[in-house]
Amino acid sequence: MTEFRAGYWFFVLLLTSLTWPAQALVLELRQAQAMVTTKGQTTQQLVNLPYHWDRQHPGLAGEAVFELPFELDQLPTVPFGLYVPRLGNAYEVWLNGVLLQRQGDLQNYNGSDFAKAPRYVVIHPGLWRTHNLLLIRIRADVGRRGGLAALHLGPDEEVYPLYLHDYLWRSLGSLVIVIVSLLIGGVAMALWATQVNVSVAERPRRDALYLYAGLAELCWAAAVGNALIEN
């Protein structure tokens, strides 16, 4: 069922432009009350989203709790979707005291990184109130682009295409980079193994440049592929 749904939306995306028009039914949340903890010290302030952890706290790891209150004039009767372009490195998403999604261990610094892919949460109608509180807890590591992006909230049929558009471009883009890097790395390693300098008969040599280039490409492919494997 999931594969069919993804295939359907991918077909829809191919028929539309790459720039999505503004959706009247989608609520964008761009401010939050944040409680940020670094080095055992907690500060509280109103912040604008996106919140880039490495820019706000260079060289520091820590935790943050973001509270985003909002009101609904009418309670939804259909499933809603919550789309977050970047969230993590580990996180929990709560709505009105109910845990919606958790990825990673908030106490395990430098553990699994879940900020590499966009996130989507389905919200069932029974969870809504007139006055709502969306609460997001994150663990942010040093130099891993943690934080919280602006959130998009609305009917599933409106929000899911936004998420899928972002997810497909990130995933397919990473996959293309991995494949190209593996091909280049493989060719470079093959050249290093087969191209032998025999000008000096007693000490035939291989060109180390091919070796270094091949290893660099393979390492780059592994680094980029990590996002595909972990997410």
- pLDDT tens profile 175-194: 788 888 888 888 888 888 88
In the three-class reduction of DSSP (H, G, I as helix; E, B as strand; rest coil), residue 127 is classed as helix
Q: Provide mean pLDDT across the span 52-71.
A: 97
pLDDT value for 178: 81
Q: Among 28-37, 126-135, 168-177, whose mean pLDDT is lowest?
A: 168-177
Is the pLDDT higher at 104 or at 180?
A: 104
pLDDT value for 200: 60
Sequence letter at residue 15 = L
Contact status, residue 139 vs residue 89, Cβ threshold 8 Å: yes
Is the pLDDT higher at 190 or at 92?
A: 92
Q: State the pTM of this model.
A: 0.73
Rounded CA separation 44/195 (Å)? 62
Q: What is the third-level CATH fold of 22-155?
A: Jelly Rolls (2.60.120)
Alpha helices in the chain (DSSP H): 2-14, 53-56, 156-194, 208-230
Q: Which residue has the tokens 């749904």?
A: 5
Of 24, 50, 46, which is closest to residue 35 (Cα–Cα)?
46
Angle, CA of 47, 51 and 52, to the nearest 5°:
140
Q: Confidence band (pLDDT; 50, 70, 90) for 14?
A: very low
DSSP assignment of 202-229, as one string?
TS-EE-HHHHHHHHHHHHHHHHHHHHHH
Rounded CA separation 148/62 (Å)? 13
- Residue 156: Cβ-neighbour burial (10 angstroms; 0-12, 13-18, 19+): middle
- pLDDT tens for each residue of 209-229: 878 888 888 887 777 666 555
Other residues' Cβ atoms within 10 Å of the Cβ of residue 80: 23
Q: Provide mean pLDDT across the span 70-88.
A: 94
**Residue 214 structure tokens:** 């091949």
Of 85, 159, 152, 91, which is closest to residue 116 (Cα–Cα)?
85
